[in-house]
Amino acid sequence: MPPACTLGKRSIYAALAANLAIAIAKFIGASLSGSSVMLSAGFHAVVDSTNELLLLHGLKQSEAEPDEDYPLGRGQELYFWALNGGSFDCCPRPSTQPRPSLSCSILIC
């Protein structure tokens, strides 16, 4: 595996750990304060974590060796999973964060 892929995986794992820590902190804050916005932000952090999981899955799939079903390999599959992960960013967010355009939310979610 090239060093760039190793560095990319390391940054994805770091982002995943950070998003999960943020989600835990926000869920704790929501339980202590009773804030529905904080609870919603916690769920948003969990959704952000799924972006990293999809990217890691895409990296694993793209590294698969060519086989009978995929004679050219699966190198382009990374882009498919990155697109799916990015589509989560267009979904509605808690009211404390800017919302994407309405057309994006309707088309993706």
Predicted TM-score (pTM) of the model is 0.68
Residues 26, 41: Cα–Cα separation, whole Å? 7
High-pLDDT (> 90) share of the chain, %: 19
Distance, in Å, from the CA atom of 8 to the CA atom of 94, rounded to the nearest integer, reads: 29
- Nearest C-alpha neighbor of 97 from the set 48, 27, 28: 48
Give tens-digit pLDDT for 11-56: 889 989 999 999 999 999 999 999 888 998 898 888 888 888 888 8
- C-alpha separations of 56 from 9, 10, 15, 103 in Å: 7, 10, 11, 28
**Going by C-beta distance under 8 Å and a sequence separation of 6 or more, which residues neighbour residue 38?**
26, 29, 30
- The half-sphere exposure of 4 on its side-chain side, counting CA atoms within 13 A, is 0
Of the given ranges (8-17, 25-34, 73-82, 91-100), which has the lowest mean pLDDT?
Answer: 91-100
